[in-house]
Structure 1
Amino acid sequence: MFYKMLRPMAAAAIVLSAITLGGCMTATPYQPYIPEGGPGTHGGYSEQQLAPDRFIVRFHGNEMASRERVEGYLLYRAAEVTLQHGYDWFVPVTRHTEHDVQTYVQPDPFYSPWYGYPYWRPYWGYYRGGYGWNYWDPWMGGPFWYGGANVQTVEAFEATAEITTHKGPVPTSQPSAIDARAVMAKLGPTIELPKPR
C-alpha cells in the first residue's frame, strides 16, 4: 500500500523537477555576447567595425533561441549600431566574385520573414550535435538545410551580416536601404532584455 502511494508522488516530483529545470533555461535575450559557461544565459550580439561606416554584426543564439529570434535580434542590432555611430540607414553588403553578378532575392519557400526587408539576408551558422558548426551563404545556393541539415536537428543558430551605414534620408532609389529608426520602432516591442538579477 505504502509503495502505491509513493509512485504518484515520485511521478509528481519528476514532473515538477522537469518544469523547474526547463524554467531555468531561456532563449538568448538581447544582450552583449556571453560565452557558454559565462554568467547568465549564453549568446548575444557582437560587432566588428571594419571602417568608419562599415560593420560586421553577429547574433549568437543558444539552444532555446529560434531562428526567427536570432535573425530579428541581428537586424535590431544592425539598426542600433547604425544609430549609435551617428548614421540613419544601412545597407546589407553582399560579396561578389571578381566580375559583377546581379543578385535577385528569391524567397525561400520554407522560411521568409525578413521582417519586411527582402534584402536582409544574413549569413548563417548552425550547430548540429555530432556534426559541429556549419555555415551558409544566403546569396549562394538553396536554403541552409539543402545540404542535408534538417532544421529539427539544429541545436543553435548564429547569424552574421556585413552592413554599410549612411547619413540622411533613406534613398528611394536604393531598394536594399534599411531605415534604422523604422527597424527599432518595428522590432523594439519584441525585444526581450535580460532579466535583472
Structure 2
Amino acid sequence: MKTRFFKPVLMAATAALALSACATATPYGPAGPETRYGYAEQRVDADRFRVSFAGNSVTSREQVEMSLLLRAAELTLESGHDWFSTVNRATDRDVRYATSPDPFYYDRYSPFWGPSWRYYRRGLWSPWGPRYDPFGRDFDVREIDRFEASAEIVLGNGRKPSEDPNAFDAREVVQNLGPRVPRAM
C-alpha cells in the first residue's frame, strides 16, 4: 500500500521540479534556430531597422518592451548613430488556456487516452469538453500569456529631437535599461 501512494507522489514531485527549472523568463539574447524567443532585427534602409523581441510565457510585458528598447539602442550605437526614434511600435499578446485535472487524482489510464462521457437530457446531448467530469473532479484552468514587441526605428546623429516624444538617446537607454534586463548565463 505504501508504494502505491508513494509512486504517484514521487512522479508528481519530479515533474514539478523539472517544470520549475524551465520556468524562467526569456534572457536577453538573439533568437536562433533552437529557440524563437529573444531579439531579432532586420535592416530596412541605411538608417532604418525593424526590431522585435519575443518572450516566453513567464516573461512580463514590461520585460519584453524593455528588451526591445535595449536592442534598438544597441543597434543604434553599433551603426555609429546617437539616437533612434520609433516609427511603428506594437506589443502583441498571445493568450492560450490550459486545463489540467486535480493533481491528487490518480487515474490508471494513460494521460493520452481516457474514457469520456456525454449525457442525454431534455432532448439534447451534453457538449464534449474538459469542463464536464462525471466523477466530479475539479479542473484547473490557467491563462497563459506570451508577449512579443516589435518596432521600426529610424537612426540619427547629434542631439535627439526634443519635439519627438518617440526619440530616445541610445546611450541613456543602454545605461538605464541595461542593468534591468536579465542576460543569458
Identity of aligned residues (%): 41
Which runs of no fewer than 5 residues in structure 1 stay unpaired? Answer: 95-121, 131-151
Q: CA deviation at 1:153?
A: 3.7
Partner of 1:74: 68
Please list every run of at least 4 consecutive aligned residues from structure 1 whose deviation after the TM superposition is greater than 6 angstroms. Answer: none
Aligned length: 141
Match of 1:91 in 2: 85
1:27 and 1:83 map into 2 onto residues whose CA distance is 26
Partner of 2:13: 15
TM-score (norm 2): 0.66
CA contact (8 A) 1:61 1:156 kept: yes
More helix by share: 1
For the pair shown, the structure with the greater C-alpha radius of gyration is 2
Say which of 49, 57, 64 aligns to 2:51.
57
What is the aligned partner in structure 2 of residue 123 from structure 1? 90
Report the Cα distance in structure 2 between the residues aligned to 1:9 and 1:162, rounded to whole angstroms: 53
TM-score, structure 1 normalization: 0.62
Structure 2 residue aligned with 1:158, among 148, 169, 172?
148
Q: Give the one of 159, 162, 181 matched to 1:172.
A: 162
The alignment yields a C-alpha RMSD, in angstroms, of: 2.3
Counterpart AA for 2:90: Y
Higher strand content, 1 or 2:
2
Partner of 1:116: none
Distance 1:7 1:186 in 2: 53
- Please report how far the alpha carbon of residue 19 of structure 1 lies from its aligned counterpart in structure 2 after TM superposition: 2.2
Q: Are the aligned partners of 1:126 and 1:156 in contact in 2 as well (CA < 8 Å)?
A: yes
Moved more, 45-54 or 170-179: 170-179
Residue 179 of structure 2 corresponds to 189
Per the TM alignment, residue 194 of structure 1 is displaced from its structure 2 partner at its CA by 1.7
Higher relative contact order (CA 8 A, sep 6+): 2
